[in-house]
Structure 1
Amino acid sequence: MSRSGADLALLLLGGFRVLADSATAELAERGYPDHRPVHDFAMRAIAAGADNASELGRRMSVTKQSAAKTIATLQERGYVAIGPDPEDARRKRLQVTDLGQQVLSTGEAIFDDLRAQWAQQIGETNLRALETHLQTLVGTEPMRFDTPGWVSRGTTPADG
């Protein structure tokens, strides 16, 4: 049976969705019932240097207001804190808390477990072949976790 290019795109997206949904459900089982993939994207962006709402919005391809709402949610849950900037006492910086780092580490371990489940389902050799083929097609650098707005091709909402 021949499949279309659209079918391939949907299968790849479906694979991502299955992994993301499974990880979210497992995080809930492990004590983080209110954690969502967007929170992971935001915390990774903050850990990588997005230390204010404007920069977080740029990195996530969302408005500053949307980024500020995400920050407020992450602060409320104890995943992110605002601290002093060591270079400018007048400025405040976002920082991922120890609890936030714990959630990120737990999520990474869950994805390792999910990969192992896929290897068990289709065989380690087949999974490695799939990974190798995907690297050949999309490159060896994995997609950054702080760029959920990749569909917008790097433009910000203000850019249109």
Structure 2
Amino acid sequence: MSEPARTERWGFELPLMLLAGFRSLIDALHAELAERGHPDLRPAYGFAMQAMGREGVTASELGRRLGVSKQAAGKTVDRLAALGYAERVDDAADARRKRVRLTPRGLDALALSAEVFEELRGRWAATLGAERLREVEDALEAVVPPGAYRLDAGSWFGG
């Protein structure tokens, strides 16, 4: 028999539960990505690939978007390039600069990630109930400030 839900919680538990929920989704995502042909992707790479977007960026811009140094961004790009997810190309607007952009493999991984996140959301809906999950999402949307979806979250954890 399961224990009844607690009615009182300590303040520090909320961020830990939110982090644990985030972590469980990210871990499940990466397990699925590994099963589906992307075993070398890590959470920090996902943040970087999102920050590159479809248009690509300079290493400096990538560092700013991720909240890391240009050198740290460059190391991430080196790893993504070695894995076939990103490439450096000449900047059409300035021949002195290079842009970093996703390869077809990188774009495929992002599309697959979106698909897997939908599947994971479906699992949460099956566990919690679709209406309850919507209530959780609505509640979080009510307390999370606009524009809080930032790609530099990985840097909070040294990513």
Whether the TM-score (by the shorter chain) exceeds 0.5 is: yes
Q: Which has the higher helix share?
A: 1
CA distance in 2, matches of 1:7, 1:150: 22
Aligned partners of 2:89 and 2:100 also within 8 Å: yes
CA distance in 1, matches of 2:61, 2:145: 26
TM-score, normalised to structure 2's length?
0.86
Is 1:66 matched up with 2:104? no
Cα–Cα, structure 1 residues 149 and 18, in superposed 2: closer, same or farther, change >3 Å? closer
Is 1:7 matched up with 2:13? yes
Q: Which runs of 5+ in 2 are unaligned?
A: 1-5
CA distance in 1, matches of 2:50, 2:121: 21
CA distance in 1, matches of 2:104, 2:55: 16
Question: Which of residues 101, 106, 119 is equivalent to 1:100?
Answer: 106
Deviates more, 1:110-119 or 1:44-53: 44-53
Aligned partners of 1:57 and 1:66 also within 8 Å: yes
Residue deviations 1:124-159 (CA, integer Å, cap 9, x gap): 010011111111111465613x2225749xxxxxxx
Aligned partners of 1:62 and 1:149 also within 8 Å: no
Number of residue-to-residue matches in the alignment: 151
Q: Which runs of 5+ in 1 are unaligned?
A: 153-160
Is 1:40 matched up with 2:46? yes
Counterpart secondary structure, 1:5 = coil
Q: Look up the match of 1:56.
A: 62
Is 1:147 matched up with 2:147? no
Higher relative contact order by CA 8 Å / sep ≥ 6: 1 or 2? 1
TM-score, normalised to structure 1's length?
0.86
Post-superposition offset of 1:113: 0.2
Post-superposition offset of 1:65: 2.1
Post-superposition offset of 1:43: 1.0
Counting aligned pairs with the same residue, the percent is 43
CA distance in 1, matches of 2:111, 2:147: 20
